[in-house]
Structure 1
């Protein structure tokens, strides 16, 4: 039985790699996003300002763009308008440090397809990019959104979960916790790692929130079945396929 989540690599309809352009003047953030996309099997080009982004788009003809609104030379919205002239159908995910309705409306009105506010989860950015590519018809990936560990199946797009073919209803936090566990099967995850990934902040050392949500998951995933979620004393928790 498989011990790793089964997930297909996303490619163009002709089987060639997805080409992405990452535009952000924060070098560390741009590299984090780029690394995640390369792990997906994509080819990645980066640019640290608007002029470089436009030049890169002309040269590499990306399938999708991740574009920061705040750039040192041109406004991200101006860059977006120029990218639209090069390719009106180009999917663009906007990044911003500003969390306001006005910024979101401005970006979407200018032609952005989706919007993420900093700080963000890298995994969430990847999921949104994959959804934009599917919506644009650039790729075909039947079943791509599914994670499978043993008889447990999680669909990252529809947020549906099933164990041995039986539907399981989860809250949004329970879903995020299970998704993190399923992305790391047979790997022991500490409470600190789970807090950082699922809640994106700590609770001043009150890691009992993790124990509480693990217990919620166990009632829904393991109740009446052979357990998949295990406690490793002094280390954390691990999800393994049932034998």
Structure 2
């Protein structure tokens, strides 16, 4: 198992590699999208997490992220590296299924901590002993990373699945975006629009079976009856 760092800047790759190796991780480097896709397809050294530069040579990081989500290992966690202030890139990355993003210039140590957090969260869900969560037609099997509606699998990104699992485990409890960022993402700080984007995408994928309600002025809840909002807006 290895961490894949894909960036066309060799200095960035070298710094990130050294920090990750200090944490005892094996690192593989690529400099463009085509080589990255080839590395992801190589089963000899399975990638447990990919760090992708949004602006690397084609295909760019967002396209590679989409390819991961539609490929044979769609649950591979993805962290995007985006240029400072490029909000559109961050939103596109989250919509493509990225689990996290870090803006350039960044602290290598912060990135290493984000890697640890994403991997820890993924492992915690896999190891969870509660085998099945159900709400009406929705069924989630956290250990196998599977969500179904009426028995049909629903394609969710790892973070969307984490969010759904958290909400199902806390029905009718209201959580602010800050609280969801801390509980689901493991972040003590970050862009709150990350939560908004994931709520919107999760509602869209679950369709009329979702019960994510907006509690105006407070946050979100699963199956809260007294929203007064219809629960349709992020």
TM-score, normalised to structure 1's length? 0.49
Task: For 1:32-71, list aligned pairs within 5 A.
Answer: 32-59=15-42, 60-71=45-56
| Offset, 1:100 | 3.0
Gaps of 5+ in 1: 1-17, 141-156, 160-171, 173-243
| Offset, 1:98 | 4.1
Separation in 2 of the partners of 1:99 and 1:56? 30
2:102 aligned to which of 98, 109, 116: 116
1:81 aligns to 2:88 (yes or no): no
Separation in 1 of the partners of 2:31 and 2:79? 16
2:118 aligned to which of 98, 112, 132: 132
- DSSP-derived class of the 1:136 partner: helix
Separation in 1 of the partners of 2:67 and 2:84? 22
Specify the structure having the higher radius of gyration (Cα).
1
Partner of 2:172: none
Is the alpha carbon distance of 1:101 and 1:32 closer, same or farther for their aligned partners in structure 2, counting shifts above 3 Å? same
Is the alpha carbon distance of 1:87 and 1:119 closer, same or farther for their aligned partners in structure 2, counting shifts above 3 Å? same
TM-score, normalised to structure 2's length? 0.51
Partner of 2:228: none
Separation in 2 of the partners of 1:37 and 1:118? 17
Render the CA deviation track for 1:49-92: whole Å, top value 9, x for unaligned: 00111111122221001100001221211111112213111110
Gaps of 5+ in 2: 128-185, 190-234
- Across the aligned residues of Structure 1 and Structure 2, the Cα RMSD in angstroms comes to 2.1
- DSSP-derived class of the 1:37 partner: helix
Render the CA deviation track for 1:82-113: whole Å, top value 9, x for unaligned: 12213111110000114232221100000100
Matched positions, count: 127
Task: For 1:10-21, list aligned pairs within 5 A.
Answer: 19-21=2-4
Q: Does the 8 A contact of 2:78 with 2:100 survive in 1?
A: yes
Separation in 1 of the partners of 2:30 and 2:102? 18
Is the alpha carbon distance of 1:97 and 1:158 closer, same or farther for their aligned partners in structure 2, counting shifts above 3 Å? closer
Partner of 1:213: none
Partner of 2:224: none
| Offset, 1:158 | 8.3
Partner of 1:29: 12
